[in-house]
Amino acid sequence: MTPLRITELSVDGFRNLRDVKLLPSPGGNVLLGDNGHGKTSILEAIDYAASLRSFRGATRTQLIGHEAKAAQVLLRVAGPDPAREYRLRLGRTTREITLDGKRPERAVEYFAGAACVVFHPGDLDLVRGPPELRRRLLDRILVRAVDGYGEALKSYGKALRARNVLLRERHPDTRAIQAFDFPLARYGSALVRARSVLAHDLVPAARRALDEVALSPDAIELRYQPRASGDQVVFTAALAENLSRDLARRSTALGPHADDLAITWSGLPARIVASQGQTRALALALRLAELHVLEARTRAIPVLLLDDVSSELDRERTARLFKLVAALGAQVFVTTTDPAIAALLPGARRFTVTDGAVGPGDG
Amino acid sequence: MNDEGDPIQALVRLLTRLPGVGEKSARRIAYHVLGADPDYARALGGAIATMSERVRRCASCGAYTSRVRCAICDDPRRTAEILCVVARPMDADAVERARVFQGRYHILHTLLDPLGGVGPGEFPLEPLLERVAREGVQEVILATPPTVEGEATALYLAECFHAAGVTVTRIASGVPHGGDLEFTDPITLGRAMEGRRSV
């Protein structure tokens, strides 16, 4: 399996980053520096260019530096295919994306070519937070692994928003509302089918990952809970049946936008029974499962972005994780304030991040 | 630099409002016009002004024309029994180029698009229903694009016409001529499979 490797990274005007240029190592990379200087923003810039979404939940305008006209990111990524060039330019009202100088034609081609897996402190919410974050995990994998998924997701969102606008009108027109049932059911059922298959693959991947982070693999159970059918005809019928309820609540109740991925731990909901330490390890296991599934489905090992892991994991688990990453052969970027953590990743290239600029590390 | 009153900048600003024209292309066009014969610039400006003064929408189908009714609506060889409903004038042009259609067109100029501010109240349904009744249309072909709004519009119109007892068909969607199945995107291929028929 060939690992994906970022061979060059340039960032400018993204949050507080100014004219950052990095030539990362194909193996480990450590970003050292005090908090608030831009370490996490570098990971965010990489992942934003690769996934077009901020893992910190930021909107586009929040990502543009206060004094910058636009945020720009350039990634060169080597992998099983010839090296590809990702360019992103975020203006206050515009977003330009190119892949090898051209507008990407298919979502899967863009997203799979620079697949990253991020593990960051906010990931505790994968286990404890609302279902939206777990749906986002499924979608993040599927836009990279399934041709047409990204397009279907976009179309579904559009149909859903349109239908909800119609449901909120003062005198709702049921004929117009039902006209959107067709695209909603077509794209929605496709999303449910893809998510069901993925959830099935995620279980063994998560067990393997739990073993890797030293928790009992048998304790975890993942169950996909769809809120609509993967059969377009059944989906459509359910929408029709539910119309009066939707009219009363003024929004569409059924559909993949309300799905969840239930995580149980020794038979009980993980968000309730898992301790703080177990929750962290579970969240990490879900991210490693994301990596394993992507590896199997895209035939390439994603780049790992680990944000401040030492605050999330104890020293032993951190060391174990780094060993695992090295064994997988994945390229990894680690942020930390603690030079001792950098020492756990032998052979890593070090960079120091100070006030939005990057210099060579001292190791 | 202050560009108040700079004629180049004024043109560039107007050009960038055109679809698909960014700042760079706009500058290229401006410099090209400057470098060309001044007669060309005058003719170009004149042609744009004349077009916008003289061209209007056909009273019957909505196509752009400099007459009251367009050439297709005025052509007695075109049957009034079949009506092809499209979203934009260029969609009618595309069907026309295929030379397989002998009926008339109806151009909506918009789709049912609640997110874009076109809900059922704003959608131009009445003129279409009136026309179908007035001209004795037997079959309505819905040729709106295979997008979310295009599909919803087709379904919305189909429901309205079923209520009025008119036959409604939807154009098929599938693999392009000369296209390789292997390189056809899964959504199109899925539609082609759904829309299969016995041979």
DSSP A261-293: EEEEETTEEHHHH--HHHHHHHHHHHHHHHHHH
Distance from CA of B115 to the nearest CA of A (A): 6
Amino acid found at A279: T
**Of A30, A5, A15, which is closest to residue A302 (Cα–Cα)?**
A5
Mean pLDDT by 10 residues, chain A (363 residues): 94 96 95 94 97 93 93 94 93 92 91 94 93 96 94 96 96 96 94 95 91 81 94 95 97 97 92 89 92 93 93 83 90 93 88 92 57
Residue ranges of chain B that CATH labels 3.40.1360.10: 77-198
A182 neighbourhood in chain B, CB within 8 Å: 151-152, 155
Confirm if A118 and A287 have CB atoms less than 8 A apart: yes
Nearest residue on chain B to A148, alpha-carbon basis: B186
B185 neighbourhood in chain A, CB within 8 Å: 106, 147-148, 151
At A220 the pLDDT is 86
Distance from CA of B36 to the nearest CA of A (A): 30
Q: Which residues contact A238 (CB under 8 A, 6 or more apart)?
A: A228, A229, A254
Residue ranges of chain B that CATH labels 1.10.8.420: 7-54
What single-letter DSSP state applies at residue A79?
S
Confirm if A233 and A225 have CB atoms less than 8 A apart: no
Report CA Rg, chain A.
Answer: 21
Q: Which fold has domain B7-54?
A: Helicase, Ruva Protein; domain 3 (1.10.8)
Q: Which residues contact A270 (CB under 8 A, 6 or more apart)?
A: A127, A220, A263, A264, A278, A279, A282
Alpha-carbon separation of residue A179 from A163, A215, B69, B88 (angstroms): 9, 49, 32, 20
| Best residue of A158, A167, A181, A189 to probe chain B, by most B CBs closer than 10 Å | A158
Q: Is B7 helix (H, G, I), strand (E, B) or coil?
A: helix
**Of A83, A65, A66, A75, which is closest to residue A24 (Cα–Cα)?**
A75
User: Rounded CA gap, A319 and A317, in Å?
Assistant: 5
Architecture of domain A1-115+302-363: 3-Layer(aba) Sandwich (3.40)
Sign of CA dihedral A50, A56, A57, A62: negative
User: Rounded CA gap, B166 and B158, in Å?
Assistant: 9
Say if pTM beats, i.e. exceeds, 0.80. Answer: yes
Question: Domain residues of chain A, as ranges?
Answer: 1-115+302-363, 132-301
Confirm if B115 and A162 have CB atoms less than 8 A apart: yes
User: Rounded CA gap, A240 and A243, in Å?
Assistant: 5
Q: Give the pair of three-digit tokens for residue A288.
A: 């490693």
User: Rounded CA gap, B30 and B40, in Å?
Assistant: 12
Instruction: List residues of chain A with CB under 8 Å from any CB of chain B.
Output: 106, 147-148, 151-152, 155, 158-159, 161-163, 165-166, 169, 173, 175-176, 178-183, 186-187, 190
User: Rounded CA gap, B63 and B71, in Å?
Assistant: 10
Q: Class of B77-198 per CATH?
A: alpha beta
Q: Phi and psi dihedrals of A114, rounded to 5?
A: -140, 45
User: Looking up tokens 């992507």, which residue turns up?
Assistant: A294
At B3 the pLDDT is 54
Distance from CA of B41 to the nearest CA of A (A): 31
Q: Class of A132-301 per CATH?
A: mainly alpha
Confirm if B144 and B111 have CB atoms less than 8 A apart: yes
- What ipTM describes this predicted complex? 0.83
At A363 the pLDDT is 45
Q: What is the DSSP string of A181-233?
A: HHHHHHHHHHHHHHHHHHHHHHHHHHHHHHHHTTS-GGGEEEEEE-SS-SSHH
Distance from CA of A234 to the nearest CA of B (A): 16
Confirm if A222 and A262 have CB atoms less than 8 A apart: yes
Task: Considering only the beta carbons, identify the residue of B112, B147, B185 that sits closest to A176.
Answer: B112
How many CB atoms within 10 Å of residue A335?
A: 26
At A197 the pLDDT is 95
By the CB < 8 Å criterion, does B195 face chain A?
no
Low-confidence ranges of chain B (pLDDT < 70): 1-4, 179
Cα distance between the two ends of chain B: 69
